[in-house]
Amino acid sequence: KNEVEQSPQNLTAQEGEFITINCSYSVGISALHWLQQHPGGGIVSLFMLSSGKKKHGRLIATINIQEKHSSLHITASHPRDSAVYICAVGSARQLTFGSGTQLTVLP
Amino acid sequence: DAGVIQSPRHEVTEMGQEVTLRCKPISGHNSLFWYRQTMMRGLELLIYFNNNVPIDDSGMPEDRFSAKMPNASFSTLKIQPSEPRDSAVYFCASSPGRNTEAFFGQGTRLTVV
């Protein structure tokens, strides 16, 4: 069993839809990271959180430490949100990565 | 700040050749990481520097791989000799501290033929 599990692996949505990507982990963590990787390959750090909820524009990330679960939500999705979203747990030194969720938002 | 800068963006080389990947971290960040991304294994940490000193290189696959950080603004990852199985995207990332957010470069796509 992988230490970091993401679901779904692939997600196709229509523009405007509310999107949720889930991440479950089995290891103890100091922080959980959500990363975005665009088709060009570059990786952008979206959030780092260790408790509660963070919001940045249309993106919301939540974490439940007791349940070892995090969700990334995208409100009013747009085609430019199409990317691979990667959950990673641990510190920057010891990040364990999920396999990623490929999101495609259709116009 | 321009962010983490990696070069080259793409590298195609023949098996057996030496390959050097370069990284310039964000100014003021004292932690630097080299990651490798493949379809089979996803993202893997290769080596981690703190204040220019290698702290953890347990992820370096074998002796053909070496990394240096001669100063706070520059690091290299060298593969000698390269093999086709080294083909991957190599990411450099930096962070201000040990348990803080990491900022990634655009990556170097390496193809060894």
Give residue-wise pLDDT tens across range B84-112.
Answer: 999 999 999 998 876 677 889 999 999 99
Per the document, the length of chain B is: 113
Contact B45 A95 (CB under 8 A): yes
Neighboring chain B residues of A38 at a CB cutoff of 8 Å: none
Count of beta carbons in the 10 Å neighbourhood of residue A66: 5
Which residue in A has a C-alpha nearest to residue B107's C-alpha?
Answer: A42
Predicted pLDDT of residue B99: 65
- Judged by CB atoms closer than 8 Å, whether chains meet at B55 and A93 is answered as yes
CA distance B19 to B112: 9
B56 contacts A30? CB cut-off 8 A = no
Q: Is B55 on the interface with A (CB under 8 A)?
A: yes
Tokens at B60, concatenated: 């370096």
Residue-wise pLDDT for A19-62, tens only, equals 999 999 987 777 899 999 987 778 888 998 888 999 999 999 99
- Give the type of residue at A9: Q
Residue B42 Cα, gap to closest chain A Cα (Å): 6
* pLDDT attached to residue A93: 65
